[in-house]
Amino acid sequence: MNHSGRSTPICEKDAGDRLRPDMEEILAATRRSADITRQLLAFSRQQTIAPRPLDLNETLESMLRMLRRLIGENINLSWHPGVRLWPVFMDPAQLDQILVNLCVNARDAITDVGKISIETDTKTFDNGYCVDHPGFAPGDFVLLSVSDDGCGMDKATRDKIFEPFFTTREMGKGAGLGLATVYGIIKQNNGFINVYREPGQGTTFRIYLPRHEAGLKQDSQRQTVITDAKGNETILLVEDEQTILKMTTKMLERLGYCMLAASSPDDAIGLANRHAGEIHLLMTDVIMPHMNGRELSARLQSRYPGIRVLFMSGYTANVIAHRGVLDEGVNFIQKPFTKQELAVKVRDIL
């Protein structure tokens, strides 16, 4: 109450400050759930990916600063790039997953001060070698090695490290999905991994990724940094999850786009039929009741031959993925995505 006898309204800012810790906790839980989903999909080799030719040395060098912050100042990160590496064909985000998981694992194996080494090289195996070395495959490979001088592991631990939910950490300190994720990613990219270890002598993970025969072709258009990610085109958004539909619609409206939002393929077709102008982009979920995103895009392309299509999903689907790899020329964005990721992706397509 104030001096006039009237009640003082609660300040909206104060109410927001009180709610902020709860909202941050909800956001953190959502991110943890999304991370676990991605890790399980990676282990099962069904993670939807967008691979491209990579120079492994160049990609790894761009990650070193982040990795050094991740492992801490008491551990020395040593980088030894090989010369004249062949290109590999994989999603750079998956390479990021591999390095983060292996470096965190190595960091946790080091008690106090120590060293983690990352190396690259090229290797060629013939059939005779692979006959005598189970687990190896013939061909040309780019080798990525991550070594530490930590506590190492015994054979019993070595035999289980790639199993999902197996962990040597204390309860609540890890989900046991890190190395399972690494294993799934490597298998999804037709590679293989070997572990060399001795108790008390550290551990070396050696990852072999197949050589990309087509060579390394720089896609200058993809390398261009998009500074103005806004637009004014018309986008037909189709998403059966109402929360995502509303959130994504608001994101794109704030970027200047004219939005047509539909919660089902049938609604989308009806909206398109009633819309007098052009529709420049169809942004659709992959898995929906009664009609999937690929079928919907085919229906709409007959009416709008020049329409661009962006598929989105938190899961893999055969309509856009074959063995977890996107079909050539198919645009895809992984849910959940940030406003910036969405803005750049949409502008890139349009």
Report all structural domains of the chain as residue ranges with CATH numbers, in order of start: 52-210 (3.30.565.10), 225-349 (3.40.50.2300)
Segment among 45-59, 288-302, 327-341 with least mean pLDDT: 327-341
Tokens of 210: 């197949």
* CA–CA separation, 342 and 350 (whole Å): 12
213 confidence band (pLDDT: 50, 70, 90): confident
Tokens of 121: 């090289």
- What per-residue confidence (pLDDT) applies to 302? 83
- What per-residue confidence (pLDDT) applies to 283? 93
- What per-residue confidence (pLDDT) applies to 158? 57
DSSP code, position 224: S
- What per-residue confidence (pLDDT) applies to 219? 42
Does the bond joining 336 to the residue before it have cis omega, within 30 degrees of 0?
Answer: yes
Does residue 92 contact residue 53 with C-beta atoms inside 8 Å? no
Question: Alpha-carbon Rg of the chain, whole angstroms?
Answer: 24
Segment among 162-166, 260-264, 314-318, 336-340 with least mean pLDDT: 314-318
In percent, how much of the chain has pLDDT > 90? Answer: 21
Residue 214 makes CB contacts below 8 A (sequence gap 6+) with 53, 89
- What per-residue confidence (pLDDT) applies to 13? 58
Q: Which residue has the higher pLDDT, 162 or 318?
A: 162
pLDDT > 50? residue 104: yes
| Residues found in the chain | 350
- Residue 277 burial (C-beta neighbours within 10 Å; 0-12, 13-18, 19+): exposed
pLDDT > 70? residue 105: yes
Helix (H, G, I), strand (E, B) or coil at 260: strand
The tens digit of pLDDT for each residue in 6-22 reads 555 555 556 667 777 77
For the segment 238-256, the average pLDDT, to the nearest whole number, is: 88
pTM beyond 0.75: the answer is: no
Tokens of 283: 């942004």
The tokens 């054979």 sit on which residue?
155
* CA–CA separation, 167 and 135 (whole Å): 23
The listed range with the strongest mean pLDDT (99-108, 109-118, 256-265) is 256-265
Residue 93 makes CB contacts below 8 A (sequence gap 6+) with 49
In percent, how much of the chain has pLDDT > 70? Answer: 69
pLDDT > 50? residue 145: yes
* CA–CA separation, 187 and 193 (whole Å): 9
Helix (H, G, I), strand (E, B) or coil at 234: strand
Q: One-letter amino acid identity for 302?
A: S
152 confidence band (pLDDT: 50, 70, 90): low
- What per-residue confidence (pLDDT) applies to 159? 59
